[in-house]
A and B are shown apart, each in its own frame.
Chain A
Amino acid sequence: MGEILDILLTAGFWAATVRIMSPLIFGTLGELICERAGVLNLGIEGIMTVGAMSGWMWVYQGGGLWDGVLFAAAMGMIFGLLHALFTVHLGLSQHVTGIGITMAAASLSYFVYRMLLPDATTPPKIEPFKAVPIPLLSDLPIVGEALFTQSPLTYLAFLTVPTVWYVLFRTPLGLAVRMAGENPVAVEAQGLNVLAIRTGAVMVGSGLMAIGGAFITMSWFDAFYFNMINGRGWICVALVIFASWRPGKALLGALIFAGLEALQVRAQQSAGAIIPYQFFLMLPYLLSILAMIVMARRAEYPKALLQPFRRGDRV
């Protein structure tokens, strides 16, 4: 116990937590936007892989870091558009489409990586985002290092939370998105285009997921590995349920998960001899399942989640 307390008091632990949180925030918010509009996006795992690969590759091929982020987001949006075409316009199974997108997107990423770097035996590296200390704030004890000496992408992640909240809950556009996830017929009856709104939401959400993936190769690490996303996308899907589809709670959920993962890495170093590292690595997955069990009864699903909408269905 004492050891854990010691860890919790170090700035390094909190800095790591905040870093690990960042891709989870992007991914969870991206999924949240899709689901708020009524579309479950299980393509997330593949879309994060696409983001991780394309953002990194852009920089490796000589592009700028921020261009790389934009490029990753654009690639994510293309796969989001594909998901929307299938699930929103053709009304096909959201479950199976999502799995199909994940399979196609992930394998395509590996294919492209191999095509462009056929001979690389060890993964080549790029110069990733550097920490940008925020003047004055970064001088604060612990908090300064944990929160205000981070990569610009992390700051972006934290800015995304209130932005998504504001758009969803305070603007006419957000109202239309939420309504599309609650009762698409009502949206149609008010003269708005449900298909366009859902398509837009899925594309924007997918763009955010891809940025989450890009964070991993462009800010956290500096190279692209096989199986790099390693289930983070699925954890984001669980986090959305945990968060009851609310951006603020999504931030909280990401914090808890990232904290445990950071703790796990540090605890491994001290307790690794006694408890095998695999059990630490299992924790996030088991916790995700646990989180869904705990929240299941209280979960207020968007009422039209998983329901395809066809024009004139009930008129």
Chain B
Amino acid sequence: MLTFRNVTKRFGTLAANDGISFDVEPGEVLALLGENGAGKTTLMNILFGHYQADEGVVEVDGRPLPGGSTDAAIKAGIDMVHQHFTLADNLTVLENITLGTESLWSLRQDKTGAKRKIAGLVETFGLAVDPDAPVRSLSVGERQRVEILKALYRDSRVLILDEPTAVLTPGETEQLFRTLKALTADGLAVIFISHKLHEILAISDRVAVLRAGKLVGIVETEAADRRRLAEMMVGREVERPALDRVAAGDAVLDVEGLILKSDDGRLLLDQVDLNVRAYEIVGIAGVAGNGQSALADVLSGLRPDFEGKVEHLGQSIRGVSPRHLVERGVGRIPEDRQASGVVGEMAVWENLASEDLRNPAISRAGFIDRKAALSRADRLIEAFDIRCKGASAETRLLSGGNMQKLILARALSPEPAFILANQPIRGLDEGAIAYVQSQLLEARERGAAILLMSEDLDELMAFTDRLAVIRDGRLSDLRPTAEWTIADLGLQMSAQRATGRVEAGLVGAGHAD
């Protein structure tokens, strides 16, 4: 029902999509697998008219889709659930769903009809949600249901899900998979974009693998296994650095009874106890939005208003500014490198200097010693293999992997005793992932204490010494990683959503009154 025919898109000399052809059949789940930068996003951008293909066409039921038009794709019955939800928080579920489905010039909205139709969809596909609730009151899982309802409401026949499980608990993922089964049973086609192999194996009928802009192949899921898919995706055997067992040293970071409240008084962190010792990597697992950012902010020195004890090498970090924290030996890798890691419009050397501007090595009496800063930057560019057009190049022009290397260089080169690594490999390709992990390993070997936050359970299981799960701002017991199983982690991560659901239910009941 949906056909890609020889779709090619070039950016300069780079072919982001190179002669891609495949079909999607009604009633199937087709997984689109590929590393970051393999061309999945470009392909979807072409489908939705954000880019025009240089060559090739997309056909729906044999009719070519006009390029450059989002509306055409939607009218042809194709809809997409984005990784970042495209919902307006301050508007209601109903408003989010009905937007654009009525003539803009009609003088009133048919709310009763819309509600009836939504109720029918909710019943058929098990997508419980209150249409009058404002979206901001919904949990992440409920928001995703709204996104799917949006597509079904306009009678879409092809549904594309981009990394849909990244923000879901294992329990919510299972529920999503049940919904997807119901959809395909109803004759819809689903394109499932992911790089999580176990999920692809669990839900899809066929897998299309992209690598470096080319379609490597399409395999029947039944005939595929993890190893083979990983190799197809990366093009070689995947090898990530492994931890060897080292005896941990003394505690470097010591957290006891840490409490943090949001501006409007909600509890973001609730009695968190945590210690990280020299020579070890401690992992924190959890679904996004359960307090990881709050914990990272406290440990980065951005939230001095916490309660409880947080000590670094035996000294409290209360009231210590980020600058002094760095001076004391804390290295920080931020969650979002573009937004908070680097200043894109400033030069590479400036970003390498931004954390220790008052370091006598690069500044004197309030004046920056440009020469010294530049030569230090040159050394770091060399040592960390940052690919750029020199230290004076604008940082925004760097690739994601090289930006992350810049941040690593800045954070790790002063050899900090404690390293906070928040989602350090998110969005990177395998080459860059291996590099980041080897750098963290090197730091561990010289005795650094590392706290690793991640949503990727595979990464955590393979790359940590001890592990805990964060949920609703509470941290589980810290146990050696070997004692955890993926199933345990899933259970711990999901548990809190039970209470979340009760609350959401109450909100819903309130609206029903």
How far is the CB of A190 from the nearest CB of chain B, in Å?
A: 3
Contact assessment for B82 and A172 in the assembled complex, using a CB-CB cutoff below 8 Å: no
Residue of A nearest to B147 (CB): A189
How far is the CB of B94 from the nearest CB of chain A, in Å?
A: 10
| Interface: B87 (CB within 8 A) | yes
Contact assessment for B99 and A303 in the assembled complex, using a CB-CB cutoff below 8 Å: no
| Interface: A173 (CB within 8 A) | yes
| Interface: B51 (CB within 8 A) | yes
Tell me the bound Cα distance from A179 to B88 in angstroms. Answer: 7
| Interface: A176 (CB within 8 A) | yes
Which of A176, A187, A193, A315 has the most chain B CB atoms inside 10 A of its CB?
Answer: A315
Tell me the bound Cα distance from A205 to B102 in angstroms. Answer: 23
Contact assessment for B86 and A172 in the assembled complex, using a CB-CB cutoff below 8 Å: no
Q: How many residues of B contact A (CB 8 A)?
A: 35
Residue of B nearest to A301 (CB): B90
| Interface: B36 (CB within 8 A) | no
Contact assessment for B150 and A175 in the assembled complex, using a CB-CB cutoff below 8 Å: no
Contact assessment for B109 and A191 in the assembled complex, using a CB-CB cutoff below 8 Å: no
Q: Is the interface of B mostly helix, strand, loop or mixed?
A: loop
| Interface: A107 (CB within 8 A) | no
Tell me the bound Cα distance from A314 to B74 in angstroms. Answer: 17
Contact assessment for A173 and B104 in the assembled complex, using a CB-CB cutoff below 8 Å: yes
Contact assessment for B95 and A315 in the assembled complex, using a CB-CB cutoff below 8 Å: no
Contact assessment for B96 and A172 in the assembled complex, using a CB-CB cutoff below 8 Å: no
| Interface: A270 (CB within 8 A) | no
Of B45, B91, B100, B102, which contacts A312 at CB under 8 A? B45
| Interface: B198 (CB within 8 A) | no
Contact assessment for B41 and A176 in the assembled complex, using a CB-CB cutoff below 8 Å: no
Q: Which residues B6-60 have CB closer than 8 A to chain A? A: 41, 44-45, 48, 50-51
Tell me the bound Cα distance from A183 to B85 in angstroms. Answer: 10
How far is the CB of B455 from the nearest CB of chain A, in Å?
A: 19
How far is the CB of B92 from the nearest CB of chain A, in Å?
A: 10
Contact assessment for B107 and A171 in the assembled complex, using a CB-CB cutoff below 8 Å: yes
Tell me the bound Cα distance from A170 to B102 in angstroms. Answer: 12
| Interface: A182 (CB within 8 A) | yes
How far is the CB of A188 from the nearest CB of chain B, in Å?
A: 6
How far is the CB of A149 from the nearest CB of chain B, in Å?
A: 32
Contact assessment for B89 and A303 in the assembled complex, using a CB-CB cutoff below 8 Å: yes
Contact assessment for A188 and B103 in the assembled complex, using a CB-CB cutoff below 8 Å: no
Residues of chain B with a CB closer than 8 A to A171's CB: 106-109
Of B82, B100, B106, which contacts A187 at CB under 8 A? B100
Contact assessment for B50 and A311 in the assembled complex, using a CB-CB cutoff below 8 Å: yes
Given A190-B99, A191-B75, are A312 and B80 also a contact pair (CB < 8 Å)?
Answer: no
Q: Which residues A10-46 have CB closer than 8 A to chain B? A: none
Contact assessment for A183 and B88 in the assembled complex, using a CB-CB cutoff below 8 Å: yes
| Interface: B84 (CB within 8 A) | yes
Contact assessment for A315 and B48 in the assembled complex, using a CB-CB cutoff below 8 Å: yes
Of B41, B87, B89, B98, which contacts A175 at CB under 8 A? B98
Contact assessment for B104 and A315 in the assembled complex, using a CB-CB cutoff below 8 Å: no
How far is the CB of B284 from the nearest CB of chain A, in Å?
A: 27
Tell me the bound Cα distance from A192 to B49 in angstroms. Answer: 13
Contact string, A102-119, partner B, CB cutoff 8 A, digits 1/0? 000000000000000000
Given A189-B82, A190-B100, are A183 and B87 also a contact pair (CB < 8 Å)?
Answer: yes
Tell me the bound Cα distance from A179 to B100 in angstroms. Answer: 10
Given A176-B104, A182-B90, A315-B41, are A192 and B99 also a contact pair (CB < 8 Å)?
Answer: yes
Contact assessment for A189 and B104 in the assembled complex, using a CB-CB cutoff below 8 Å: no
Tell me the bound Cα distance from A172 to B150 in angstroms. Answer: 15
Tell me the bound Cα distance from A315 to B80 in angstroms. Answer: 9
Residues of chain B with a CB closer than 8 A to A192's CB: 71, 99-100, 104
| Interface: B221 (CB within 8 A) | no
Residues of chain A with a CB closer than 8 A to B102's CB: 172
Given A182-B90, A315-B50, are A187 and B105 also a contact pair (CB < 8 Å)?
Answer: no
Which of A170, A175, A300, A312 has the most chain B CB atoms inside 10 A of its CB?
Answer: A175
Contact assessment for B108 and A170 in the assembled complex, using a CB-CB cutoff below 8 Å: yes
| Interface: A146 (CB within 8 A) | no
| Interface: B481 (CB within 8 A) | no
| Interface: A53 (CB within 8 A) | no
Contact assessment for A175 and B109 in the assembled complex, using a CB-CB cutoff below 8 Å: yes
Contact string, B60-90, partner A, CB cutoff 8 A, digits 1/0? 0000000000110111000010101011111
Residues of chain A with a CB closer than 8 A to B44's CB: 315
Residues of chain A with a CB closer than 8 A to B87's CB: 183, 186
Residues of chain A with a CB closer than 8 A to B51's CB: 312
Of A179, A193, A311, A315, which contacts B99 at CB under 8 A? A179
Tell me the bound Cα distance from A175 to B95 in angstroms. Answer: 7
Of A170, A300, A312, which contacts B90 at CB under 8 A? A300
Residues of chain B with a CB closer than 8 A to A175's CB: 91, 95, 98-99, 109
Tell me the bound Cα distance from A191 to B73 in angstroms. Answer: 8
Contact assessment for B91 and A178 in the assembled complex, using a CB-CB cutoff below 8 Å: yes
Tell me the bound Cα distance from A192 to B74 in angstroms. Answer: 10
| Interface: A236 (CB within 8 A) | no
Residues of chain B with a CB closer than 8 A to A254's CB: none
Contact assessment for A182 and B50 in the assembled complex, using a CB-CB cutoff below 8 Å: no
Residue of B nearest to A178 (CB): B91
How far is the CB of B159 from the nearest CB of chain A, in Å?
A: 13
Contact assessment for B71 and A191 in the assembled complex, using a CB-CB cutoff below 8 Å: yes
| Interface: A241 (CB within 8 A) | no
Residue of A nearest to B80 (CB): A189
How far is the CB of A228 from the nearest CB of chain B, in Å?
A: 37
| Interface: A185 (CB within 8 A) | yes
Residue of A nearest to B104 (CB): A173
How far is the CB of B40 from the nearest CB of chain A, in Å?
A: 11
Residues of chain A with a CB closer than 8 A to B84's CB: 185, 314
Q: Which residues A162-202 have CB closer than 8 A to chain B? A: 170-173, 175-176, 178-179, 182-183, 185-193
Residues of B within 8 A of A (CB): 41, 44-45, 48, 50-51, 70-71, 73-75, 80, 82, 84, 86-91, 95-96, 98-109, 150
* Cβ contacts A to B, 20 pairs, < 8 Å: A171-B108, A175-B98, A175-B109, A176-B100, A179-B99, A182-B91, A185-B82, A185-B84, A186-B86, A187-B100, A189-B70, A189-B82, A190-B101, A192-B99, A192-B104, A303-B88, A303-B90, A312-B50, A312-B51, A315-B80
A sample of 17 more A-B contacts (CB under 8 A), given A186-B86, A192-B71, is: A171-B106, A171-B107, A172-B104, A173-B105, A175-B99, A179-B96, A179-B99, A186-B87, A187-B100, A189-B82, A190-B100, A190-B150, A300-B90, A303-B88, A312-B51, A315-B45, A315-B50
